[in-house]
């Protein structure tokens, strides 16, 4: 089982699509997956962005506005106070590579056959919920579930109703991979 969030969700999907990897996994859980991060960007701006990424990959882009992580202001404050979180603007080269990786993943979703739980906050402004809908629609898995969380932002586990999100994951896992805790007891 593999779980990935945001860029980790994109990495999780691409990892599972690598040759032979699906046989190593029991399923995928992706939340806020960065399959589409350039929704609504004009095609001319995308082309200029690719050129900038080639010429100046370390150029910092405009940082996201405060409040994109969660509807709970304490989550944003905790993020800002955490010395282990990256707070600088994303670099042009990274953003370009993420867009390219998202395109690659979306082009190959018809090869994804693992049990799949996809979740996304509908008010996510960092990664587009459209990417999660696309993942659910295009994956070839006969067992695929999409849960869109109304009013939630990017960090669905850290929203005020995050316990419901965790319960959804646990229920999904229990329904597919229940453990027999009495096995081996005499």
Clarify whether 6 is annotated catalytic.
yes
The residue among 20, 61, 14 whose CA lies nearest residue 34 is 14
Predicted local distance difference test score (pLDDT) of residue 183: 60
Task: Kindly state the average pLDDT of the residues 46-60.
Answer: 90
Which position among 16, 96, 124, 128 bears the catalytic label?
124
Clarify whether 154 is annotated catalytic.
yes
Q: Where are the domains of the chain?
A: 2-39+67-84+99-177
Predicted local distance difference test score (pLDDT) of residue 181: 60
The residue among 5, 16, 45 whose CA lies nearest residue 166 is 5
Clarify whether 128 is annotated catalytic.
no
Predicted local distance difference test score (pLDDT) of residue 40: 84
Percent helix, strand and coil across the chain, each rounded to 5? 45, 10, 45
Over residues 79-94, the pLDDT tens digits come to: 999 999 988 899 999 9
Predicted local distance difference test score (pLDDT) of residue 184: 61
Structure tokens at 149: 């969380």
Q: What is the pTM of this model?
A: 0.90
Task: Kindly state the average pLDDT of the residues 138-154.
Answer: 97
> 180 pLDDT band (50/70/90 cuts)?
low
Q: Quick one: fold of 2-39+67-84+99-177? A: Rossmann fold (3.40.50)
Which position among 5, 6, 128, 132 bears the catalytic label?
6
Of 32-36, 76-80, 174-178, where does mean pLDDT reach its minimum?
Answer: 174-178
């Amino acid at each position: 089982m593999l779980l990935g969030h945001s860029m980790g969700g994109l990495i999780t999907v691409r990892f599972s699509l690598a040759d032979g990897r699906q046989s190593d996994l029991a399923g995928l859980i992706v939340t806020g997956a960065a399959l589409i991060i350039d929704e609504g960007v004009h095609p001319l701006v995308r082309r200029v962005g690719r050129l900038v990424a080639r010429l100046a990959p370390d150029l910092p882009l405009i940082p996201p506005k405060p409040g994109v992580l969660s509807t709970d202001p304490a989550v944003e404050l905790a993020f800002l106070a955490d010395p282990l979180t990256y707070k600088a603007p994303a670099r042009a080269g990274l953003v370009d590579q993420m867009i390219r990786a998202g395109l690659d993943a979306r082009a190959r979703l018809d090869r994804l056959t693992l049990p799949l739980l996809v979740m996304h906050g509908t008010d996510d402004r960092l990664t587009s919920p459209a990417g999660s809908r696309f993942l659910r629609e295009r994956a070839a898995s006969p067992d695929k579930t999409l849960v869109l969380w109304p009013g939630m932002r990017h960090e669905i586990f850290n929203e005020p109703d995050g316990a419901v999100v965790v319960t959804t994951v646990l229920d999904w896992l229990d329904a597919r991979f229940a453990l027999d805790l009495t096995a081996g007891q005499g």
